[in-house]
């Protein structure tokens, strides 16, 4: 699904990622944990193709294609979905119309006919029922005045409608209380299939109780310093990140 090989990346001339390699197979859930400033969001940004980030070395293959030369929107059309870091607010554009445009852009890219109004409504209703999303959320301007929890539910709805192969969640848990977190995580779990994969970026273990990762990687100072199973996340929750730094011989 996704194969990251020795990625080095910098922003404004400052090197942030220092040789990241990671393989994600279909159906797998990988978590990336790490202290603040370790480069987690930078990795997500590089995968999404954000302009400010310069990849100086390494390669990424996504579903057999070379990802890095692709435009951000084409990455999305190919099945990559990055959620939560920068929720857009667009006054005057309803969530429904925003999603309809996104769905049909993707279909166009894939050489498919656009969905007509009837087919689109049918798909909307199906996904709304699945995620227990309220109709009123969808008629409001996208993200305008939404609470943190509503923004995240809305993104999960977008994800459901776009049916990505790989979803990257960057700090989905930030700003969510425990009830909202549980609802959002349950929505994500409902969208999981044996063909789709998740890359969950988080500072805290809490979210991983709900999204049970197959693998956990610890990012520190731009490198993956340790990989393990979900027990590694529990160990970090108990001991903090210091022991990882010490073990890696990186203590400052």
Q: Is 34 in the site for ligand ADP (CB under 6 A)?
A: yes
Q: Does 51 bind ligand ADP (CB under 6 A)?
A: no
36 or 238: whose CB is closer to Mg ion?
36
Radius of gyration of the chain (CA): 18
| Total residues in contact with ligand ADP, by rule CB under 6 A | 13
Question: Does the protein bind ligand ADP through residue 77 (CB under 6 A)?
Answer: no
CB of 214 closer than 8 Å to CB of 30: yes
Query: Can you say whether the dihedral through the CA atoms of 238, 4, 30, 159 is positive or negative?
Result: positive
Q: Is there binding between residue 14 and ligand ADP (CB under 6 A)? A: yes
Measured CA to CA in angstroms, residue 57 lies from 6, 23, 24, 54, 249 at distances of 7, 17, 20, 9, 24
Q: Which is nearer to Mg ion, 61 or 85 (CB)?
A: 85
- 49 interacts with ligand ADP by CB under 6 A: no
Report residue 240 CA to chain centroid gap: 24
221 binds Mg ion (CB under 5 A): no
Is 66 strand, coil or helix? strand
Out of 20, 30, 39, 103, point to the residue binding ligand ADP (CB under 6 A): 39
Closest approach of ligand ADP to the CB of residue 222, in Å:
8
Angle subtended at Cα 142 by Cα 130 and Cα 209, rounded to the nearest 5 degrees: 45
How many Cβ atoms sit within 10 Å of the Cβ of residue 239? 10
* d(C-alpha 155, C-alpha 169), whole Å: 10
Nearer to Mg ion, 40 or 153 (CB): 40
Which partner in Mg ion, ligand ADP, none is near 194 (CB below 5 to 8 A by kind)?
none
Instruction: Please select the residue that binds ligand ADP; options are 1, 9, 16, 29, rule is CB under 6 A.
Output: 16
Shortest distance in whole angstroms from residue 223 CB to ligand ADP: 12
41 binds Mg ion (CB under 5 A): yes
Which single residue is written with the structure tokens 């309220």?
134
Name which of 140 and 203 has its Cβ closer to Mg ion.
Answer: 203
Nearest to 196 by CA among 173, 166, 226, 222: 166
Binding mask 138-177 for ligand ADP (x = CB under 6 A): ----------------------------------------
CA distance 121 to 59: 39
Residue of the chain from 10, 38, 154, 167 that contacts ligand ADP (CB under 6 A): 38
Closest CA to 219 of 25, 9, 55, 59: 9
Instruction: Pick the stretch among 38-46, 75-83, 161-169, 243-251 that binds ligand ADP (CB under 6 A).
Output: 38-46
Q: Which residues bind Mg ion (CB under 5 A)?
A: 36, 40-41
């Amino acid at each position: 699904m996704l194969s990251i090989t020795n990625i080095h990346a910098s922003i404004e001339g400052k090197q942030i990622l220092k040789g990241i390699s990671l393989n994600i197979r279909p159906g797998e859930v990988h978590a990336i944990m790490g202290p603040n400033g370790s480069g987690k969001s930078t990795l997500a940004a590089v995968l999404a193709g954000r302009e400010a980030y310069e990849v100086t070395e390494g390669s990424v293959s996504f579903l057999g294609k070379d990802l890095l030369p692709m435009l951000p929107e084409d990455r999305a059309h190919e099945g990559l979905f990055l959620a939560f870091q920068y929720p857009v607010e667009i006054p005057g554009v309803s969530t429904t119309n925003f999603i309809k445009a996104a769905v049909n852009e993707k279909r166009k890219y894939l050489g498919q006919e656009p969905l007509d109004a009837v087919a689109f409504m049918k798909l909307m209703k199906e996904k709304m029922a699945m995620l227990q999303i309220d109709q009123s959320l969808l008629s409001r301007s996208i993200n305008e005045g939404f609470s943190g929890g509503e923004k995240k539910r809305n993104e999960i709805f977008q994800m459901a409608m776009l049916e990505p192969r790989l979803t990257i969640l960057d700090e989905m848990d930030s700003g969510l209380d425990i009830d909202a977190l549980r609802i959002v995580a349950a929505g994500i779990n409902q969208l999981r299939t044996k063909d789709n994969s998740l890359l969950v970026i988080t500072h805290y273990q809490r979210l991983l109780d709900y999204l049970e990762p197959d693998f956990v990687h610890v990012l520190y100072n731009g490198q993956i310093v340790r990989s393990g199973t979900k027990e590694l996340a529990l160990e970090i929750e108990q001991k903090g990140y210091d022991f990882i730094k010490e073990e890696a011989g990186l203590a400052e």
